[in-house]
Structure 1
Amino acid sequence: MSKPDTQAFIDAIRQHLSYSLGVQPAQASLHDLFMAVGLATRNLMLDKLFLTEQRYAEQNAKRLCYLSMEFLVGRSLANNLYNLGIYDICRQAVQTLGMDFDELLEVELDAALGNGGLGRLAACFLDSLATLDMPGYGYGINYEYGLFKQDIIDGKQVEKPDHWLIRDTPWLIERRDYACFIPLYGRVVQTRDRAGKMLPTWIDWKVLVGVPHDMPIVGYNGNTVNYLRLYSAMSSDEFDMNLFNSGDYIKAVEQKISSENISKVLYPSDQVRVGKELRLIQEYFFVACAVRDVIRIHREKYQDLNNLADKVAFQLNDTHPALAIAELMRTLTDEYDFSWKKAWEMTVSMCGYTNHTLLPEALEKWSVALLEHVLPRHLQIIYEINHRFLQQVANQYPSDIGRLQRMSIIEEGDDKQVRMANLAIIGSHSINGVAAIHSELVKTNLVPDFYEFFPERFNNKTNGVTPRRWLLNANPQLASLLTETIGEQWITDLSQLSALEVVSEDSAFQDCFLRIKRANKQRLATLIAEEIRVILNPDALFDIQIKRLHEYKRQLLNAMHIIHQYLSIVEDGVMLPHPKVYIFAGKAAPGYFMAKLIINLINNIADIVNHDPRVKGMLSVIFMRDYKVSLAEKIIPAADLSEQISTAGMEASGTGNMKFSMNGALTIGTLDGANVEIREEVGAENIYIFGLTVADIEKMQRIGTYKSWDYYHHNPLIRRVMDAINSDRFCPRESGLFKPIFDAIMFNDRYYHLADLDAYIQTQAQVLTDFGSKPYWAKKAILNVARMGKFSSDRTIKEYAQAVWGIETAKK
C-alpha cells in the first residue's frame, strides 16, 4: 500500500473536516484540524490493520495478550506519522492549509492511562511488537480520568481531575459488537449435573458490561498495525431492570452510575473499603473482559478450545492482572467443562508473570473477606489452587511448616489476605524480573522458596525503551545527525549506534552533537520561562531527575545535595566551576505524606535559591508541574546529567535511565536496577557511580551498623544540611514544616540517605569538573548514545517472544 502524496492527504483532511466533523474548512479551529488530521491518519492505519489481521489469520499465528492496568501512551499523532513514514507529508499538508504544524501537535492531550514506568514500559512493548511484525495486543481499562493533574500551590502538590477524554480523540474506536458481560458478587451453591456429579455454581450475580475501545498501534515502516483494546464499564439491562420495573427509577439510575464508575478513574484511593473494592473490581473487570475476548476470537477461528494454549499467550504486567489465572480456570472448568488437570496445564502454559518490585510491602494483597464478597467463585478456585500446590510443597519438604506458610497464597491472620504475587508465580510458567540485578534479587531475597521449588521458571528480561518514541520522535535533530552519520538502520536495530564510536572524538561531530544539545536545552529553558517565570542559562549544566516521587527513588538525596551546594556558596564563599540547573518533575500519590512533603521542600528550596542574588547565575532549581509523557519528551533531550540515585536493591530496573543515555546525557547513579547493565555497556569511565551496593546494605542490615546520628555527628557538611532542613530556613512562613523529614532521616532512614550523601557530594563535584572540558564531556556523551543498543525494547520483546511467549514474526 503506497503512501499518500501531500495533495491526497490535504484532500483527506478536508473530507474529514466536512463530513466527519461537520465543519467548513475555512471555519475550522486548531482542534478541528487536529481531529481531521488524526482521522485521516487513522484511516491509513486501519487499512494496514485489516491487512495485518488477514496475514495473521493466513499464518495461524499465535497471539500475545499483554495484560496491564496501565498503558502510558502519551500523545499519538506525531508517533503515528513517524511510524507510517508520512511525518513530512503531514507537515506540508497542514502548512498548506494555513496552520502551524507544531501548534497542531500541542493540541493533543496525553492519553492518561498510566502513572509511571510500568505503564510506559507497556506502551514501548506495544510499539516494538508492531515494529517486529509480531501479533501482540494490549488489554487494559479505558480510564475516563487519568491519575490526576498536578498543580503546585505555595510549594505544595494539589491534585486536580485529569479528564483526558473531555475532548474527542481520533484514536479510540468503539467496538460495541464485542461487548463482554462480566459477573460480580452473588454466591456459590453446589448443584448436580446429569451424571450426579457435584458442581459449584455461581448464582445471583450482578452484571457489568465491558465495551472495548481499540487504539491502533502502528509499527515503524507501517507494515503491521496491532491494537490496544481498552474496556469501558457500562451497566447492563439485567443489572437494574428489576429495580426499574418495581418503580424505583432513581435507585436504578444510581446503580447504573455506580457500575460505570469502574472505568472512571485510574487507581482510586484504597485507603477505605469502598476504594479497595473498586480497585479489586477494576483488576477483575479488565482481565475477565480480556479472557472472554480471547476465547471469542479463538472459537471463531478454531471452533473449540483444545488448542487454546498453543495459540495464545498471556503476560501479566505485575500482579494487577493475576486474577486472570483464576478467571482462566473458572472459564475452562465451569463454562467449557475441562477437567481441573487439563485446565491447570493450559493456564500455566499460557501465563507469564513480570515482577516489578523488590519491596515486600509493595507486593499486592487482597482481603479474603473482600474477595469472597466480590468474587466468591474465584476465591474458591484460589483456595483449590493453593490446596493442591501446598500438597506438592509438603511432599517435597515434609514437616517444613514455615515454608508452607511463606509459599501459601493465603496469608493467615485475623484478616486473612490473598497474596497475589504467590498466585501469579504458582499459575505462570515464567517469572521474570526486569534487570539482571533485580531478577537475581527476586530469586535470592524476595521469593527464594519459590525459586528453589521452580528454578526453571525464573528468568531475566532487562527492560528496554522504543527508540522511535524516545529518540526519533523526541529528539529529531539528534536523530537526523545519527542518520546522516551512520544511516537509518538504527531506528529498527539500535545496535547499529555502535558505529558512532569512531566519531566520538571527531571535533566536527562533537560540535554538531553539542549544538543540538544546546538547542534542546534552549527549547526547555523557553518552556520554563513561559510557565515558571525563571530564566535559565542554556550553557549551564542541566541536572535532571524526573520520575514518580518515592522515598526509595531519593529525590530527597538530590535536594540534600542542592542544600549543601547552596550553603557552600552563601556561607563558605565557594564558587562553582560551572553554572548548574537542577530540574525535577514527578507526582506523589495523593495519600503519600512524605513524598508530598519532599515536593514541598524542593519547591521551597527553589523559591529561595532562585531569588537569592548571592547565587544568581550559578545555581537554579526548577520543579515542573504535571509530569507526563509529552513533558518528558521535551525534558529528556535537554539533560546533561541524569539522576538515577535510588537506594541500591530497591529499583527494579528504571527506563528513564535508558532514555536519558540514548539522548546523550551522562548518568549519576547507584548500582541499582538497569544502572548496573548500563555501566557494563557504556563503560565505567562514562557513568558516575557512587554509594552503597546491595551487598553493603545487606551487611549493614545484618549487623545493624547503620546509625544516622553517627553521620550527623562526624560529618559537619551533613550536619549543616540536616540542621537546615530541621530549621525554618526553607519554610520561613510555616515553622517546623520539614521537621518530619529530619525525624524520618535521623530516626529511621530506611533508604540510607546519609550513608550515601558524602559520596554523592564528591561525585557531583567530579561531574562539574568534567563538564568544564567540552571535548571530554562530548566524547562521554556520544559514547553513551553509541552503546545503548542493548536497551531497545525491540531486544526485550525478541527475548520474551522466543523464551516465554512462543510467538514469531508474521511478515508478508
Structure 2
Amino acid sequence: MILDKEFIKYAFKQKLMSLYAEDISELNKYHYFTALGNLVKDYISEGLMKTNKYYLNNRQKQVYYFSMEFLIGRLLESNLINLGIRDVCKEALTDLGVDFNEVLSVEKDAGLGNGGLGRLAACFLDSMASIGIAGHGCGIRYKHGLFEQKIVNGYQVEVPDNWLKEGYVWETRKPHKSVIVKLGGTVDLIKENDSFKVIYKNYEPVLAVPYDIPVVGYDNNIVNNLRLWSAETVDEDFDFSSFSNGDYLKAVEYKYSVESITQVLYPDDSNEKGKILRLKQQYFFVSAGLQSILRRYEKLGLPLNKLDEYIAVHINDTHPSVAIAELMRLLVDEKSMPWEEAWKITTNVMAYTNHTILAEALEKWPVDMFKKLLPRIYMIIEEINKRFCAEVFDEYNGNWNKVNEMSIISNDTIRMAYLAIVGSHSVNGVAKLHTEILKNQELKNFYDFYPEKFNNKTNGITHRRWLMESNPKLTNLINETIGTDWIKHPLELKKLESFAHDSSIQDKFANIKRDNKITLSNYIKNKYNINVNPNSILDVQAKRLHAYKRQVLNVLNILDLYNRLKENPNLDIVPRTFIFAAKASPGYHLAKQVIKLITSVADKINNDTSIGDKIKVVFLENYSVSLAEKLIPCTDVSEQISTASKEASGTGNMKFMMNGAVTIATLDGANVEIKEAVGEDNIVIFGLTASEVIEFYKNKNYHSRDIFNNDPRINKILTQLTNGFLNVSNYEFNDIYDNLLFKNDEYFVLKDFDAYVNAQNKINQLYTDKAKWQKMSIINIANSGIFSSDNTVAKYADEIWNIKKVYLKSQALD
C-alpha cells in the first residue's frame, strides 16, 4: 500500500462513507479525525502483523516493559511523522477543504498515566520501535485514567477523565487472547511423588481482556505493541438466582468488584479498600501479561528452560515487582519446573528500574492483606525470602541484624523493592546521582551484597515527540542549519553548537520562540482571560505536584518579587510570566493546598494594576502531554528546583532543554548531567547539594524557625500567608505555614530561599543580554541529543536485556 496524496484523498472519502454513510460536506472535524485515524490504523496494522511474523519466524528475543503508566498522549500526528506521511496527509486534507490542524486537535490524550514515570515508558516504547528493538509495553487499560483536573474557585476538583467515551481509534480488542487471573481464595498443597500439587479453591476469577495499541517506529517499517488489560467478569456477569431471590446487591457485587480493578489509575490508598484495590491492579496486569508472554513463547516450540534466552521482562519502578513471584508460580505450579531451575530463569528474565528514594513510593504491603488477596503468591515470596535470608546469614557469618535489615518480609510487612532486587539480574537507577545514592545510601546493603547487579541508565526523552512534533518551526531551522541526520542520530545535534554565536541563527531562533509564545499567549487569553506579554520571560514549572518538587519555593520567590515591586514600582526587571501546571493526588491535602496558594497569588498579582503588568502568574489546569506540547516550545526558563537528592532523574528538564529553555536548578537528578553537558555558564545552579541535604538529615541540625526569625523577607511572606493578605481566610494556608515552620521544613524550602532569589536575579540579568541568552539557548539544544531515549534504550538493550537490533527491509512491509 503506497500512501500518496491522491490515494489518501480517495481512501479518506471512502472511510468517511463506510463509517458514516454521508458526504464529506455533511461531516465535521470529529468525523474527519475518526476517519483519518482508522485509515492510518489500517496501514499500521499491516506493519504490526508483518513485524510480529518476522519476530516469530526469526525467534527474535523480545522485551516486555511492565509499567503501571504509559502516558502516550495523542498518537495521530506522532504516527504520521514516524510513517513519513504527515506532510502528504496535510496536503490531501487541505485539497479536500479540511483543516488538518483542527483534525489533530480533536484527539483526546489517552488516560493511561500521570507524570514522568508514564511519559518515560511512552518514550521508551517509541525508541524501542524506532531503533529496532523488539520491545512491547504491558499495562492497564484504565477506563477513567487518573482524573480530569478542574480549578474551581482556585481549588483542584477531580472529575472523571472520560477519554474512552467516544471509543479509542488506535486500540484493537482481542477477547480470544483473554486469560483468567485468580484473586483471593485458599490454597492446598497436595504431595504427589516428590513434588507438591497446588489446588486453588474459592477464588474470584477475573477475565483479563487485552487491548492492543500499535507502536510505530520512525522510518524503519517496525511496529511493536502496547498491550493493555481490561478487567471483566467471567461468563455471566449477572447472578440471576440471587436477583430472583431478592438479593439485588449480591447479584451485581461480583461485576462491580471486578470492573473496579481497571477503573482508575492510582486509587486513593489512604484507606484499606484503596490499598487492596491497588494491589489487585498490580497483580492483575502482571499475571495477565506473564501468562500471555508464556503462551506466545510456547509458539516458538522451544523448551521452557531456554525462556531467558528469548524473553526479557523489565519492571518499571516497584509497582510490577510481584511479577517475580508470579513468574515463579507459573513455572513451578503450572509448568512443574523444579524451584532452583525456575529461580535461575526468573532472575535472568527479570530486570528492575528504581525510580525513587522516597519511602512512600517503595511499595510495602501488610502481610495479612497480601496473604488474603494473593495466598499462593505470598507462599512463594515466603520461600524466596527464606532462601535469600539463608544466603545473607551465611555471607555475614550469622549476623541476624543484617538478615533483619535485608529481609523481604519484616515486621509483618512485605518490602516489594527488596523482592525486585533479589529476583532480578539487573537493578538500575535513572541518573548518575540517583544511582550513587541508591548504592551508597538507600540500598547500600543490597549493593554490598549484589554489586554486579547495580548500574545506571540515565532517563531520556524521544526527540521525535518533544522536538519534531511539538516544535516544527525549530525543527525546520535545525534541519536548514545542520541537515537532518540528527533525526535518526540525535547526538548529531551537537553540530548546532558551532552556530551558537551566529547572530543570524540567534535571530531566527528568537523569532521562533516569540511566535510560539504568541500562540501560547492567545491560548491563555482565550481559556483564562489573562493577558500574557509574549515579550516577558516565560518561567515555567510544569510537573507532578509534590512537596519535594518545591512549587512552594517558586511561589515564595514570586511573593518576594511582588513585595519588592510594591515597595519600588520602578524596579528594573524584565517582565516575567510565571506559569504552573500540575496535578495533585486526590488524597494529598498539602499538594492541593499549594494549588490554592498558587491561584490565590495569581488572583492577587494579576489584578494589581499598580505593578504595571511586570509579573503575571498563570495556573494551567489539567496538565497533559498535549498541553506540555503547547507549553514547552515557548518556555524561556525551566524550573527544576527539587530538593537535592530527592528527584531520581526528571525528564521535563530534558524536554525544556531540547527546546532551548535555560534551566534554573538544584544539583539533583539529571540536572547534574545537564550541567555537565552544557557547562556551568549555560545553566543557573543554586541551593544545597545532595550531600549537604543528607548531612542535615543525619545531624538534625537544621532549624527553619531560625531563618524565619532572621530573614525579614521570609518573615513577611509567611505572615502574608496567614493574615488575609491573599484575600482568603487567615487559616487557608495553615498547613503550608506549619509544614515550613512547625514541622521544620522537611524539603529545605526556607534554607534554599536566599540562593533561589539570587539565582532568579541572575536570570533577569542574563535575559537582558539578548545575544548571550540566545547563545545559551542554542547550546542547550545542541547538547540535548545525549538525553534522547534512543540512546538510553540502546544501553538497556546492550547492557541489561542482551537484545540485538532488528533491521527490516522496506519490501518486508510492501
In the superposition, the TM-score normalised over structure 2's length comes to 0.97
Q: 1:754 to 1:11 in 2, by over 3 A?
A: same
Q: 1:328 to 1:690 in 2, by over 3 A?
A: same
1:634 to 630, 633, 643: 630
Aligned-partner residue type, residue 464 of structure 1: G
Question: In the alignment, what sits opposite 1:192?
Answer: 191
Q: Tell me how far 1:136 sits from its aligned partner.
A: 0.1
1:206 to 183, 204, 207: 204
Question: In the alignment, what sits opposite 1:289?
Answer: 288
The superposition leaves residues 399-451 of structure 1 with CA deviations (integer Å, 9 ceiling, x where unpaired) of: 32222112111121xxx111110110110000001000001101111111111
Question: In the alignment, what sits opposite 1:508?
Answer: 504
Contact 2:59 2:300 in 1 (8 A): no
Question: In the alignment, what sits opposite 1:538?
Answer: 534
Contact 1:728 1:737 in 2 (8 A): no
Tell me how far apart the structure 2 counterparts of residues 509 and 232 of structure 1 sit (CA, whole Å): 50
Tell me how far apart the structure 2 counterparts of residues 211 and 704 of structure 1 sit (CA, whole Å): 52
Question: In the alignment, what sits opposite 1:395?
Answer: 394
Matches within 5 A, 1:6-17: 6-17=5-16
Contact 1:150 1:587 in 2 (8 A): yes
Aligned-partner residue type, residue 745 of structure 1: L
Question: In the alignment, what sits opposite 2:29?
Answer: 30
Q: Tell me how far 1:22 sits from its aligned partner.
A: 4.2
Question: In the alignment, what sits opposite 2:791?
Answer: 795
Matches within 5 A, 1:139-154: 139-154=138-153
Contact 1:59 1:810 in 2 (8 A): no
Aligned partner of residue 343 in structure 2, secondary structure: helix
Question: In the alignment, what sits opposite 1:333?
Answer: 332
Contact 1:149 1:626 in 2 (8 A): yes
Aligned-partner residue type, residue 578 of structure 2: Y
Contact 2:69 2:117 in 1 (8 A): yes
Tell me how far apart the structure 2 counterparts of residues 271 and 521 of structure 1 sit (CA, whole Å): 41
Structure 1 regions of 5+ residues with no counterpart? none
1:528 has 2:527 as partner: no
Question: In the alignment, what sits opposite 1:735?
Answer: 730
Q: Tell me how far 1:490 sits from its aligned partner.
A: 1.1
Q: Select between 88-97 and 493-502 the one with higher mean Cα deviation.
A: 88-97
Matches within 5 A, 1:646-665: 646-665=642-661
Question: In the alignment, what sits opposite 1:319?
Answer: 318
Tell me how far apart the structure 1 counterparts of residues 40 and 284 of structure 2 sit (CA, whole Å): 31
Aligned partner of residue 332 in structure 1, secondary structure: helix
Aligned partner of residue 220 in structure 1, secondary structure: coil
Matches within 5 A, 1:557-576: 557-573=553-569, 575-576=571-572
Question: In the alignment, what sits opposite 2:103?
Answer: 104
Question: In the alignment, what sits opposite 1:423?
Answer: 419
Q: Tell me how far 1:349 sits from its aligned partner.
A: 0.3
Q: Tell me how far 1:196 sits from its aligned partner.
A: 6.1
1:603 has 2:602 as partner: no
Tell me how far apart the structure 1 counterparts of residues 790 and 291 of structure 2 sit (CA, whole Å): 29
Contact 1:700 1:706 in 2 (8 A): yes
Q: Tell me how far 1:10 sits from its aligned partner.
A: 1.4
Aligned-partner residue type, residue 729 of structure 2: E
Q: Select between 73-82 and 268-277 the one with higher mean Cα deviation.
A: 268-277
Q: Tell me how far 1:95 sits from its aligned partner.
A: 1.8
Q: Tell me how far 1:572 sits from its aligned partner.
A: 3.9
Contact 1:640 1:665 in 2 (8 A): yes
Matches within 5 A, 1:78-89: 78-89=77-88
Q: Tell me how far 1:339 sits from its aligned partner.
A: 0.3
Matches within 5 A, 1:703-742: 703-730=699-726, 732-742=727-737
Tell me how far apart the structure 2 counterparts of residues 516 and 294 of structure 1 sit (CA, whole Å): 47
Aligned-partner residue type, residue 699 of structure 1: E
Contact 1:55 1:810 in 2 (8 A): no
Aligned partner of residue 264 in structure 2, secondary structure: coil
Tell me how far apart the structure 2 counterparts of residues 197 and 764 of structure 1 sit (CA, whole Å): 68
Tell me how far apart the structure 2 counterparts of residues 230 and 51 of structure 1 sit (CA, whole Å): 21
Contact 1:433 1:460 in 2 (8 A): yes
Question: In the alignment, what sits opposite 2:812?
Answer: none
Q: Tell me how far 1:199 sits from its aligned partner.
A: 3.4
Aligned partner of residue 13 in structure 2, secondary structure: helix
Q: 1:122 to 1:581 in 2, by over 3 A?
A: same
Tell me how far apart the structure 2 counterparts of residues 142 and 431 of structure 1 sit (CA, whole Å): 27
Contact 1:48 1:222 in 2 (8 A): no
Q: Tell me how far 1:368 sits from its aligned partner.
A: 1.0
Q: 1:566 to 1:8 in 2, by over 3 A?
A: same
Aligned-partner residue type, residue 211 of structure 2: H
Contact 2:13 2:24 in 1 (8 A): yes
Contact 2:722 2:730 in 1 (8 A): no
Q: Select between 13-22 and 542-551 the one with higher mean Cα deviation.
A: 13-22
Aligned-partner residue type, residue 268 of structure 1: P
The superposition leaves residues 504-549 of structure 1 with CA deviations (integer Å, 9 ceiling, x where unpaired) of: 1111100000000001111111100011101111011000000010
Q: 1:22 to 1:267 in 2, by over 3 A?
A: farther
Q: 1:243 to 1:553 in 2, by over 3 A?
A: farther
Matches within 5 A, 1:677-688: 677-688=673-684
Q: Select between 323-332 and 609-618 the one with higher mean Cα deviation.
A: 609-618
Question: In the alignment, what sits opposite 2:56?
Answer: 57
Tell me how far apart the structure 2 counterparts of residues 606 and 590 of structure 1 sit (CA, whole Å): 22
1:262 has 2:261 as partner: yes
Tell me how far apart the structure 2 counterparts of residues 524 and 793 of structure 1 sit (CA, whole Å): 27
Q: Select between 697-706 and 351-360 the one with higher mean Cα deviation.
A: 697-706
Aligned partner of residue 322 in structure 1, secondary structure: helix
Tell me how far apart the structure 2 counterparts of residues 105 and 734 of structure 1 sit (CA, whole Å): 43
The superposition leaves residues 34-64 of structure 1 with CA deviations (integer Å, 9 ceiling, x where unpaired) of: 0100011111111211221222223221000
Contact 1:85 1:222 in 2 (8 A): no
Tell me how far apart the structure 2 counterparts of residues 22 and 76 of structure 1 sit (CA, whole Å): 26
Question: In the alignment, what sits opposite 1:519?
Answer: 515
1:308 has 2:304 as partner: no
Q: Tell me how far 1:149 sits from its aligned partner.
A: 0.8
Contact 1:133 1:223 in 2 (8 A): no
Q: Tell me how far 1:601 sits from its aligned partner.
A: 0.5
Contact 1:288 1:324 in 2 (8 A): yes
Aligned partner of residue 721 in structure 2, secondary structure: helix
Contact 2:184 2:373 in 1 (8 A): yes
Contact 2:549 2:642 in 1 (8 A): yes
Aligned-partner residue type, residue 588 of structure 2: Y
The superposition leaves residues 241-285 of structure 1 with CA deviations (integer Å, 9 ceiling, x where unpaired) of: 796698678433331232122111111111222211111111001
Contact 2:212 2:226 in 1 (8 A): yes
1:171 has 2:167 as partner: no
2:217 to 205, 216, 219: 219
Aligned-partner residue type, residue 349 of structure 2: M
Aligned-partner residue type, residue 226 of structure 1: N
Structure 2 regions of 5+ residues with no counterpart? 809-814
Aligned-partner residue type, residue 580 of structure 1: R
Q: Tell me how far 1:616 sits from its aligned partner.
A: 2.5
Aligned-partner residue type, residue 737 of structure 1: E
Aligned partner of residue 346 in structure 1, secondary structure: helix
Aligned partner of residue 166 in structure 1, secondary structure: coil
The superposition leaves residues 387-409 of structure 1 with CA deviations (integer Å, 9 ceiling, x where unpaired) of: 00000000011332222112111
Tell me how far apart the structure 1 counterparts of residues 531 and 399 of structure 2 sit (CA, whole Å): 65
Aligned-partner residue type, residue 121 of structure 1: L
Q: Select between 630-639 and 257-266 the one with higher mean Cα deviation.
A: 257-266
Q: Select between 149-158 and 673-682 the one with higher mean Cα deviation.
A: 149-158
The superposition leaves residues 199-236 of structure 1 with CA deviations (integer Å, 9 ceiling, x where unpaired) of: 34322222111111110010111511001000111100
Matches within 5 A, 1:371-520: 371-412=370-411, 416-520=412-516
Tell me how far apart the structure 2 counterparts of residues 806 and 21 of structure 1 sit (CA, whole Å): 48
Aligned partner of residue 522 in structure 1, secondary structure: helix
Question: In the alignment, what sits opposite 2:739?
Answer: 744
1:233 to 213, 231, 234: 231
1:769 to 760, 765, 768: 765
Contact 1:69 1:320 in 2 (8 A): yes
User: Matched residue pairs, number?
Assistant: 806
Tell me how far apart the structure 2 counterparts of residues 129 and 34 of structure 1 sit (CA, whole Å): 27
What RMSD, in angstroms, separates the aligned Cα atoms of the two structures? 1.5
